[in-house]
Amino acid sequence: EPEVTQTPSHQVTQMGQEVILRCVPISNHLYFYWYRQILGQKVEFLVSFYNNEISEKSEIFDDQFSVERPDGSNFTLKIRSTKLEDSAMYFCASHDPGSHQETQYFGPGTRLLVL
């Protein structure tokens, strides 16, 4: 069964460094998302991406964040200058509007630790 994959599974970085989190959505899906979950807290929406542009973003998704679909398969989240409070699990998700199902399928996550 097709699934969303994410790399790396874990990343440790120093405060102020740039990180790029990678996702490969399910191949025929057209909507892509990033969410994050700070330890012990709710899953929070960051950004959605459709037709090669951001369709919606939350207040969390400030100028330090950017997303890109550099080729036909990858979807990336870049954090330009990481802060301690960026430590969280980051989930990528995708959705196929052609399926007439509203289900979003999530990847296994990247656990980011900023020191």
Partner 1 sequence: SQQGEEDPQALSIQEGENATMNCSYKTSINNLQWYRQNSGRGLVHLILIRSNEREKHSGRLRVTLDTSKKSSSLLITASRAADTASYFCATGKAAGNKLTFGGGTRVLVKP
Binding site for partner 1 (CB under 8 A): 31, 33, 35, 41-45, 48, 50, 55-56, 58, 89, 91, 93, 95, 97, 100-109, 111
Least distance (Å) from partner 1 to the CB of residue 82? 20
Least distance (Å) from partner 1 to the CB of residue 90? 11
Contact 8, 62 (CB under 8 A): no
> In whole angstroms, what is the distance from residue 3 CA to residue 56 CA?
23
Strand partners, 12: 113
Which of residues 25 and 107 has its CB atom nearest to partner 1 in the complex? Answer: 107
Token pair 């037709």 in the structure block, residue: 51
Which of residues 8 and 16 has its CB atom nearest to partner 1 in the complex? Answer: 8
Which of residues 74 and 103 has its CB atom nearest to partner 1 in the complex? Answer: 103
Residues 6+ apart with CB under 8 A from 95: 29, 30, 31, 32, 33, 102, 103, 104, 105
Least distance (Å) from partner 1 to the CB of residue 115? 19
Decide: helix, strand or coil at residue 85: helix
Which of residues 92 and 114 has its CB atom nearest to partner 1 in the complex? Answer: 92
